[in-house]
Chains A and B, each alone.
Chain A
Amino acid sequence: MNAFLAGNSLMRGLYCWLAANQGNAQECSPGWQPGMAARDGLLPAGWEWLAFAVTASVAAFLVLNLFLLLAMFYTYLERRLIGRFQVRIGPNRTGPWGLLQPVADAIKLLTKESIIPDGADRWLFNLAPIAMVVTMFMVLAVLPFGEGTFIADINVGLLFLIAVTSVNALAVFMAGVASGNRYAMFGGVRAVAQLISYEVPMVLSVVGVLLLAGSLSLVDIVNAQRVPFLLLQPLGFFIFVVGASAEMNRPPFDTLEAESEIVAGYHTEYSGMKFGYFWLAEYSAVLTTSGVIATLFLNGWQGPLLPSHVWFLLKVFGLAFVFIWVRSTLPRVRIDQTMAFAWKFLLPLGLLNIFVTAAEILVLGQPQGEGRVFSTGGLWLMAGINVTVTIGSVAVFSRLVSLRTPALPVPAAHLSRVEAR
């Protein structure tokens, strides 16, 4: 019952204030020794479930709202930065430096009519944006935002994360098919192909991290990073970042909503706040994904001098900046090339990464208990080997793998007859 309190400073205070008693004294009363009387909370013994429910709701409320504020700021940041990348100014009319632009956008979206097309499947059509947003927020449940700051540290955290983010594909497909619009259908069908394909290399890339950390819990993974896994797993980092941008429909893999091809893809028919939900989910996906990358590869909240939360935010926004940068620079990859990239390029690299990492753990790690530990020198040696392997394998694969696909052969009879000069 009290396992969730371990190391969780976000929820401990309120819970203990409500329900401290002899049973959870180890967590709630500082300096408590067996035999001593424990602090007494407001609620009598046997009502811990209520305290838990209240605490969890409050924590979820806080985290969600703070996160939404951050997402709001992030939309502002993205528009502003893209403005700078595109030699223009960006939004600067609403509030100081245009900071209230997200508020104005939200008001606009809320006051717009929400249109449901005639040909749409009403249930699916209305459910899709909710499914999209909810799954996006579920990621927050396991993400450690700072030292001891998380909602739940479950021992299958990473698995939960992968499971929850893949529901996204279902939501997008629902939206695409339910709209009764052909562009939306294109978007939905592309979504199924692309999102499911990119799950595979993404999960493979994380296996290296798991091998090194020896745990699926995100808190344990952060604590296991004496050296940031970015250095130990550069190939895994690369695959994960690329796969994540495909999962989030970020350019250059934004084929599901490719504006120049299929108008807005799966959310072509959405308006008002339902469109706003997709928009929100898409933008907050950048933040949550950046958070996951920071946790898995960049030491999570750890860092010198500054408080852990600040470090975490810095890393998140640093990564978000990279995503914005990529978005404003690169052209889009065609859908079949996107698929070829996942299956021909990222998948073998992911397998190679697992193989190399496992071999290194066998050779360099000293057995201790159930797992293996590494000396600092061993870790640096491993980093050196892995960086070399990454550069070499990416170079070799980009020579070997061609993403170009020819056109479907067309019988000459269907083309205009051309006479020689």
Chain B
Amino acid sequence: MIRPIPGEELARRIQDACPGAVERWAGLDLWVRPERVLEVCQHLKSDSGLGFNLLNSISAVDYVEHFEVVYHLTSTSHLHSAVLKARVFGREDPTLPSVVGLWQGADYQEREIWDLMGVRFEGHPNLKRILLWEGYPGHPLRRDYLEAPR
């Protein structure tokens, strides 16, 4: 059985390595400050007690007043999982640090989020559109996206 680590416990386990990175927690989720995502992920991956070596998925949700990027992580050695969330405010140029350096699996997923949701990942080596073509107007998964008039 994979044990989901509650947000509170996770916050406790990372606060020594990354003090002040945690925003809040609720249930199984843990919110971290967007600019500290890379640092927290680095710790989650390299800490021997946590050992999150498998990045299951990165999702982005448009809550209109902010974007939320959700990282689902699993450790194959300790058989536990975690949900890491980061809220990015501002609709013009929401930016998060990229975690491609930690998990290659983030490569296409971050490109997809940039393509469809318009959240930019700083440090991504090849942040291009992936499903749509270069020059496509807008990011269609945003709630305020309107199809371009034909």
Question: Are A and B associated in one complex?
Answer: yes
Binding site for B on A (CB under 8 A): 416-419, 421
Q: Are A418 and B53 in contact (CB-based, < 8 A)?
A: no
A219→B107 CA distance, assembly (Å): 69
A-B contact count (CB 8 A): 9
- B residues near A419, Cβ cutoff 8 Å: 102
Interface string of B82-104 (1 = CB under 8 A from A): 00000000000000000001101
Determine the distance from Cα of A416 to Cα of B103 in the docked complex, in whole angstroms: 10
Contact with A417, one of B51, B53, B77, B101 (Cβ below 8 angstroms): B101
How far is B107's CA from A69's CA once the two chains are assembled, in angstroms?
59
Interface residues of B (CB under 8 A from A): 51, 53, 77, 101-102, 104, 107
7 residue pairs from A and B, CB less than 8 Å apart: A416-B104, A417-B101, A417-B104, A418-B104, A421-B51, A421-B53, A421-B77
Question: Which partner residue on chain A sits nearest B125 by CB separation?
Answer: A416
Query: A-side binding surface: helix, strand, loop or mixed?
Result: loop
C-alpha gap A421/B55 in the complex (Å): 12
Chain A residue, CB-CB nearest to B51: A421
**B100 CB to nearest chain A CB (Å):** 9
Q: CB-CB < 8 A to B101: which residues of A? A: 417
- In the A-B complex, the 8 residue pairs with the smallest Cβ-Cβ separation, listed nearest first, are A416-B104, A421-B53, A418-B104, A419-B102, A417-B101, A421-B77, A416-B107, A417-B104
The residue in chain A whose Cβ has the minimal distance to the Cβ of B76 is A421
B53 contact set on A, CB distance < 8 A: 421
Chain B residues with CB under 8 Å of A418's CB are: 104
Alpha-carbon separation in the docked complex, A416 to B106 (Å):
12
Distance (Å) between the CB of A412 and the closest chain B CB?
Answer: 14
With both chains docked as a complex, state the minimum distance between the C-beta of A180 and any C-beta of chain B, in angstroms: 27
- Give min CB distance, A414 to chain B, whole Å: 12
Chain A residue contacts of B102, Cβ below 8 A:
419
In the complex the two chains form, what is the Cα distance from A421 to B53 in whole Å?
A: 6
Q: Once bound together, how far apart are the Cα atoms of A416 and B101, in whole Å?
A: 9
How far, in whole Å, are A412 and B102 apart by their CA atoms in the complex?
Answer: 17
Q: Which residues of A sit under 8 angstroms from B107, Cβ to Cβ?
A: 416
